[in-house]
């Protein structure tokens, strides 16, 4: 009962806020369309070429722009965020719709996806900054948790809907669905009530681009959290590369059993997103991250045991642990960064956190061919526990309090993402 009341106490203030409801709606709408498209684009390429490698290029084309995260985040800080989000979503709609004209041109599909990923990185940074401006600072933790729950929820449904629509009507129907989702998202952004000051102009563009990285490195409250999140996502990439080895060699199940594990992980992420606001209030950002890394590490190590029910439970715990780390890190970034820097810091943090995941996926796919997956899972779990211990022992900075509450006046723009 206490847990239920705490959850209600966390959700009610967020859902009572008009801007928070609109922000959550944008996550649901744009996330549904985007998830449906990137999956079906890979299916389309596989159907046209018969190549698994070329199909994998679709995901890489979307991810590659993250390498330029600090530069792309600079764009989010040089413009007011709400007009930028509005213009970006309106630009993405015709870009995605142009896939209807792709025909058999693989290069065109990959080019559209690359531009999609680049513009998406800018908009992600702008959205992170706008949420910190549009909401009271006390709501940020719960809001980030609900955004995570909404995003993971779309991943449970959108792939099925996208695949069904692709089977029935082809890639054009999915492209038009995603284009419509961006138009609807633009309308939701238009409804936001936010007052933004014109961004300051800086003369040295290179120095401005690097300012986000300098802020992350020199802010003691942020650096350990973001680095720990990057290390954990690297271990998560290795764990993801071992999935089919766990299913096949470990459990002796067909490859389709991976879908059950994916669903369990998604369910864990949704539950974590709903509970994260209450957990943040009790543990603070650093405590929540340590808890999440620890849960993730233990679950990864236990995946080495050849029991299907245990594997499903471990997937649920992995899904619950990873979002704790991300929510903690990016909430700290929002609370501990001056508004003028927030786009650059958020984009730089995203690069630090998510690039190791992609690199570890590639490394893990090679390691699993030459090493026992149980050994790799055990090493990943041990490394995760070491990471949690190192973060717990690291010295907290003075920018954010241990409880996760920001010092100073009541809105994020009055202090000093992902």
Which string of DSSP letters, residue by residue, matches 253-296? --TTHHHHHHHHHHHHHHHHHHHHHHHHHHHHHHHHHHHHHHHH
Could you report the per-residue pLDDT of 193-242, keeping only the tens digit for each? 877 766 666 555 555 667 778 888 888 889 999 999 999 999 998 888 88
Assess whether pLDDT exceeds 70 at residue 324.
Answer: yes
Size (the chain), residues: 418
pLDDT number for residue 22: 87
Same-domain pairing of 168 and 313: no
Same-domain pairing of 139 and 213: no
Among 132, 162, 191, which residue terminates a domain?
191
Among 191, 217, 251, which residue terminates a domain?
191
Same-domain pairing of 173 and 280: no
Same-domain pairing of 361 and 298: yes
**Chain-wide mean pLDDT for the chain?**
80
Could you report the per-residue pLDDT of 332-342, keeping only the tens digit for each? 988 888 877 88
Highest mean pLDDT of the ranges 2-6, 52-56, 182-186: 182-186
Q: Is residue 181 part of a domain?
A: yes
User: Which of 48-62, 114-128, 155-169, 292-306 has the lowest average pLDDT?
Assistant: 48-62
pLDDT number for residue 6: 53
pLDDT number for residue 408: 31
Q: Is residue 418 part of a domain?
A: no
What's the CATH code of the domain at 361?
Answer: 1.20.1250.20
Q: Is residue 125 part of a domain?
A: yes
Spell out the long-range contacts of 354-359 with Cβ–Cβ below 8 A and sequence spacing 24 or more: 354/63, 354/66, 354/230, 354/233, 355/66, 355/67, 355/230, 356/230, 356/231, 356/233, 356/234, 356/237, 357/233, 357/234, 357/236, 357/237, 357/240, 358/60, 358/63, 358/66, 358/237, 359/234, 359/237
Q: Is residue 302 part of a domain?
A: yes
Same-domain pairing of 268 and 355: yes
Q: Is residue 163 part of a domain?
A: yes
- Distance, CA of 392 to CA of 406 (rounded, Å): 20
Could you report the per-residue pLDDT of 148-170, keeping only the tens digit for each? 777 777 777 777 788 788 888 88
Q: Look up residue 58 and give its DSSP letter.
A: H
**Residues 279-304, mean pLDDT to the nearest whole number:** 93
Same-domain pairing of 267 and 387: yes
Among 157, 191, 225, which residue terminates a domain?
191
Instruction: Quote the pTM value.
Output: 0.72
Assess whether pLDDT exceeds 70 at residue 76.
Answer: yes
pLDDT number for residue 206: 52
What is the extent of the structural domain holding 95? 15-191
Q: Is residue 1 part of a domain?
A: no
Q: Is residue 404 part of a domain?
A: no
Same-domain pairing of 41 and 161: yes
Same-domain pairing of 309 and 260: yes
Confidence at 401, pLDDT banded by 50, 70, 90 = very low
Q: Is residue 31 part of a domain?
A: yes
- Distance, CA of 396 to CA of 398 (rounded, Å): 7
Same-domain pairing of 186 and 321: no
Select the more confidently predicted residue: 151 or 405.
Answer: 151
Could you report the per-residue pLDDT of 115-128, keeping only the tens digit for each? 998 888 888 888 88
Select the more confidently predicted residue: 38 or 228.
Answer: 228
Same-domain pairing of 174 and 225: no
**Residues 26-52, mean pLDDT to the nearest whole number:** 79
**Residues 67-90, mean pLDDT to the nearest whole number:** 83
Structural domain count of the chain = 2
Same-domain pairing of 98 and 242: no
Same-domain pairing of 233 and 187: no
Select the more confidently predicted residue: 392 or 149.
Answer: 392
Expressed in angstroms, the distance from the first to the final Cα of the chain is: 34
pLDDT number for residue 199: 66
Confidence at 407, pLDDT banded by 50, 70, 90 = very low
């Amino acid at each position: 009962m206490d847990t239920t009341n705490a959850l209600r106490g966390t959700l009610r203030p967020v859902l009572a806020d008009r801007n928070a409801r609109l922000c959550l709606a944008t996550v649901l709408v744009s996330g549904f369309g985007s998830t449906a498209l990137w999956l079906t684009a890979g299916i389309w390429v596989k159907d046209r070429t018969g190549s698994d490698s070329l199909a994998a290029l679709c995901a890489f084309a979307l991810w590659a722009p993250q390498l330029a995260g600090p530069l792309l985040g600079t764009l989010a800080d040089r413009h007011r965020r709400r007009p930028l989000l509005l213009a970006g979503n309106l630009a993405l709609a015709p870009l995605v719709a142009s896939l209807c004209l792709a025909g058999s041109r693989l290069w065109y599909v990959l080019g559209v996806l690359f531009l999609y990923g680049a513009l998406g990185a800018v908009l992600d940074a702008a959205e992170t900054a706008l949420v910190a401006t549009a909401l009271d600072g006390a709501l940020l933790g719960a809001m980030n948790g609900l955004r995570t729950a909404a995003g993971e929820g779309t991943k449970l449904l959108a792939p099925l809907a996208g695949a069904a629509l692709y089977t029935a009507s082809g890639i054009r129907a999915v492209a038009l669905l995603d284009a419509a989702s961006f138009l609807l998202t633009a309308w939701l952004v238009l409804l936001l009530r936010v007052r933004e000051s014109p961004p300051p102009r800086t003369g040295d563009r290179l120095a401005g681009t690097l300012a986000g990285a300098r802020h992350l490195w020199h802010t003691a409250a942020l650096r350990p959290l973001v680095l720990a999140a990057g290390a954990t996502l690297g271990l998560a990439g290795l764990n993801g590369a071992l999935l089919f080895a766990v299913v096949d060699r470990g459990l002796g199940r067909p490859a389709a059993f991976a879908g059950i594990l994916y669903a369990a992980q998604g369910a864990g992420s949704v539950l974590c997103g709903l509970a994260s606001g209450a957990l943040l209030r009790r543990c603070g950002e650093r405590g929540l991250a340590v808890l999440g890394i620890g849960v993730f590490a233990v679950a990864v190590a236990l995946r080495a045991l050849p029991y299907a029910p245990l594997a499903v439970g471990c997937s649920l715990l992995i899904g619950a642990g990873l979002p704790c780390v991300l929510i903690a890190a990016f909430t700290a970034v929002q609370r501990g960064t001056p508004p003028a820097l927030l786009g650059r810091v958020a984009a730089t943090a995203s690069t630090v956190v998510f690039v190791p995941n992609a690199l570890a996926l590639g490394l893990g796919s090679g390691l699993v061919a030459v090493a026992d997956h149980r050994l790799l899972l055990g090493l990943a779990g041990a490394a995760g526990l070491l990471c949690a211990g190192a973060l717990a022992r690291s010295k907290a900075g003075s920018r954010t309090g241990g409880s996760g509450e920001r010092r100073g006046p009541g809105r994020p723009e009055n202090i000093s993402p992902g």
